[in-house]
Amino acid sequence: MNLVSMKEILDDANRENYAVGGFNINNMEFLQGIIKAAEEVNSPLILQTSEGAIRYIGMDYVVGMVEAATKNTSIPIALHLDHGGSFEKTMECIRNGYSSVMIDGSKKPFAENMVLTQKVVEAAHSVGVSVEAELGKLGGSEDDITVDEREATFTDPEEAVEFVEKTGVDALAIAIGTAHGVYKGKPELDFDRLEEINNKIDIPIVLHGASGVPGEDVRKAVTMGINKVNVNTDFQQAFTAKVKELFAEKPDLYDPRKYCGPGREAIKERVKEKIDILGSKNKA
């Protein structure tokens, strides 16, 4: 496949202070909409699949589709596993051609997370594949917890230093108040903590759960050291809103091309908005 490692993409972003989207694909329309948008604005791109998306699409189809989509492209693209849950899963993705993997040991105790990440880094780096890890726990948007409980799950800056040094990981996802899925209220990000972490570690920092975070807050986080921003829910909502709108207008629609096509177009437009916020336009 015509892919580059995520490290290559993010090191440029780190040097020039912008962020690149880690955009999740759920099916062919997502893949096509996302790539088209990145090509139109000449942005580097990190395409990513969760384990759930791989189960839904099928590994052979993921790889086959990405191969077809990247064959004639001129922008740098990485194919990345989002939230890999085990050493085995990351290795399976590498064997199938992924140029980058995330190992998510964030729910394990600190020492265990570190050992697991080290093991993945050692194997991945030996074949030129980059690794993202996570420290701190992201909230589920449905969690009802107090401020103290919430902050206890945030990334500890001192732990981040030790973790990065000992694992040799290429990018680190941190918890500063974002959550996966749909937010109930407005998310409050801990920018002081981000600043402290960014001052202490040199590698690119990743923000997960950025769907639903106001553009100005994402922009601020990027200026303060975030170099990769993950988006999934926003694109799912853009696709589904368009499909619902079409069915409201024409309840008798039956040809999937007549609603998946416009859904794909809606994703493309939303991707371009995100790229504008991240500042990766014309950085390919």
* 242 counts as binding Zn ion under rule CB under 5 A: no
Which residue number, 208 or 268, has a Cβ lying nearer to Zn ion?
208
- β 130-135/205-207 pair status: unpaired
C-alpha 79: how far from chain center: 11
Q: Could you tell me the smallest distance in angstroms from the CB atom of residue 280 to Zn ion?
A: 19
- Going by C-alpha positions, the residue among 89, 24, 38, 101 that lies closest to residue 59 is 89
Interacting residue with Zn ion among 80, 208, 228, 268 (CB under 5 A): 208
Cβ 83 to Zn ion shortest distance, Å: 6
Q: Which residue, judged by CB position, is nearest to Zn ion in the bound state?
A: 208
What counts of helices (H) and strands (E) characterise the chain? 12, 10
Tell me 156's DSSP state: P
Q: Are 22 and 254 in contact (CB under 8 A)?
A: no
* Contact region with Zn ion (CB under 5 A), list: 38-46, 111-119, 208-216, 262-270: 208-216
Contact 89, 69 (CB under 8 A): no
**Which tokens hold the place of 76?**
């740098």
Quick check: 228 binds Zn ion (CB under 5 A)?
A: no
Q: Is 216 exposed, middle or buried (0-12, 13-18, 19+ CB in 10 A)?
A: exposed
Are 166 and 114 within 8 A, CB to CB?
yes
Please choose, out of 27-35, 37-45, 57-65, 202-210, the segment that lies near Zn ion by the rule CB under 5 A: 202-210
DSSP-derived secondary structure for 63-82: HHHHHHHHTT--S-EEEEEE
| Size, binding site for Zn ion by CB under 5 A | 1
Question: Quick one: which segment of 70-78, 148-156, 185-193, 203-211 binds Zn ion (CB under 5 A)?
Answer: 203-211
Looking at beta carbons only, is 21 or 284 nearer to Zn ion?
21
Select the span of 60-68, 192-200, 201-209, 256-264 touching Zn ion (CB under 5 A).
201-209
As annotated, the active-site residues are: 82
Min CB(129)–Zn ion separation in Å: 19
Nearer to Zn ion by C-beta: 208 or 264?
208
Interface contacts to Zn ion, rule CB under 5 A: 208
